[in-house]
Structure 1
Amino acid sequence: MKSITITGSKRESVGKKATKALRNAGEVPCVLYGGDEPVHFNAPELAFKELVYTPDAHTATLELGGETFMAILQDIQFHPVTDRILHIDFYQIFEGKEVTMTIPVHYEGNSRGVRNGGVLRKTYRTLRVKALPKNLPDFVVADISPLKIGDKLYITEIEKGEWKYLHPDNTVVCQVRTSRNIIEDLEDEEEEGEEGAEGAEGEEGAAEGAEGGEESKE
């Protein structure tokens, strides 16, 4: 998994006035949990761009006053009107200790069921996984190519790696459902057409055989 480096400064004052002053200066107040004690720090809002505004999941390398911490983003608060980042909580992770993280699902492929008018229903856009930090994926791939109308894609059928999905094996990640625009499966039609042609040839052969039998009797 890709790691985004964020350089910040530890802060001693955590009151409302100090927090407001930081935000006015373009800084984001943050807290790092998971260690011996919480670490309060701040960093420029632009420093979080690649970590927050991305379709993939990333870890963070926090460089704070000469110390370096590995972490994952745990919670983030946005301003309800401006969407500016107000506060971020991080959770410290360690190289040899497994961590649980929410990973986005990338749907790939061209489903036959969708081509024939079905609707792809994405039940899960993210999944919870557990792994060592070095084995965490940026995203997991769900290939929908084999899905026909009415088919479901279970979690056991998506990308596997050195991580564990924290969902039951019968979890349906997505499915192709019927819709008003549905048309018959073209490939099934072709198969039926071939079978029908073979049946017609058989009937013609039987008819010729019967005619031959009548001529011999005459």
Structure 2
Amino acid sequence: MKTITIEGQLRTGKGKKDTRQLRSQELVPGVIYGGAQEVSFAAPAKAFKPIVYTSEFMKAEVNVDGTSYTCILKDLQFDKVTDQLLHIDFLELVEDKKVIATLPLHLTGTPTGVKAGGRLVVKMKQLKVKALPKDLTEAITLDISNLELNGNVRVEDVNAGNMEILNSPRIPIASVVMTRQLKQEEASEGKKK
């Protein structure tokens, strides 16, 4: 799994004035939850770009005044007008403590329904899972090559290994629908008979 390193400094003040001052220095305030204690820190806005502006799931190694924390991204806050990152929350990974994470879903294979003229419609691109840190993966891979025309694959069809999927099992992930051309061909064949 990809890991990025973020160098931060401990924050002492936690009020609006202090955070405004940090942002004026192009620093982003952040918090690390889930460990022995809550850690408030600040780091340069550029340091967060690789983890914020990606669809990949990755770990962050946050170094705050000599102490290193292995974390995953938990929450982000952006400015409504400038779209600037205002605040970031991380969840510390503790070996024996399960965490909830949102993992990307990678669909592999060409569905048989698409080969027959259908169109693939992807309805979900990520799944929410609960797992121990050692069981987390970069993505959940799902083979959809057996997906028939007018068929769909649901959350319950996903094998996530040691991870518990928190999404509702009946939600469709992807389906193969008939194209307009295929419907017209079927209708014209029906009229010929």
SS of the residue 2:182 aligns to: coil
* In structure 1, C-alpha distance between the alignment counterparts of 2:52 and 2:95, rounded to whole Å: 22
* In structure 1, C-alpha distance between the alignment counterparts of 2:168 and 2:82, rounded to whole Å: 39
- Paired position in structure 1 for 2:119: 119
Q: How much has 1:178 moved relative to structure 2?
A: 2.5
Q: Does the 8 Å CA contact 2:149/2:177 hold for their aligned counterparts?
A: yes
Q: Rg: which structure is higher?
A: 1
The within-5 A match list for 1:48-197 is: 48-182=48-182
Unaligned regions of 5+ residues in structure 1, if any?
186-218
Q: How much has 1:92 moved relative to structure 2?
A: 1.9
Higher helix proportion, which one? 1
Q: Does 1:29 align with 2:29?
A: yes
* In structure 2, C-alpha distance between the alignment counterparts of 1:135 and 1:128, rounded to whole Å: 14
Give per-residue Cα distances to partners, 1:10-57, cap 9 Å, x unaligned. Answer: 110122222112112111111122234422110111111221122211
TM-score, with length taken from structure 2: 0.84
One-letter amino acid matched to 2:134: K
The within-5 A match list for 1:190-209 is: none
One-letter amino acid matched to 1:64: V
Q: Does the 8 Å CA contact 2:35/2:94 hold for their aligned counterparts?
A: no
RMSD: 2.2
SS of the residue 1:182 aligns to: helix
One-letter amino acid matched to 2:4: I
Unaligned regions of 5+ residues in structure 2, if any?
187-193
* In structure 1, C-alpha distance between the alignment counterparts of 2:166 and 2:63, rounded to whole Å: 31
Higher strand proportion, which one? 2
The count of residues paired between Structure 1 and Structure 2 equals: 185
One-letter amino acid matched to 1:109: G
* In structure 2, C-alpha distance between the alignment counterparts of 1:18 and 1:117, rounded to whole Å: 60
* In structure 2, C-alpha distance between the alignment counterparts of 1:173 and 1:108, rounded to whole Å: 13
Relative to structure 1, is the Cα distance of residues 79 and 168 closer, same or farther in structure 2, using a 3 angstrom cutoff? closer
SS of the residue 2:23 aligns to: helix
One-letter amino acid matched to 1:58: M
* In structure 1, C-alpha distance between the alignment counterparts of 2:113 and 2:181, rounded to whole Å: 11
One-letter amino acid matched to 1:10: L
- Paired position in structure 1 for 2:191: none
One-letter amino acid matched to 1:119: R
* In structure 2, C-alpha distance between the alignment counterparts of 1:43 and 1:170, rounded to whole Å: 41
Find runs of 4+ consecutive structure 1 residues off by over 6 angstroms.
none
Q: Does the 8 Å CA contact 2:77/2:85 hold for their aligned counterparts?
A: yes
SS of the residue 1:8 aligns to: strand
What's the % identity of the aligned pairs?
A: 39
SS of the residue 2:130 aligns to: strand
Q: Does the 8 Å CA contact 1:118/1:181 hold for their aligned counterparts?
A: no
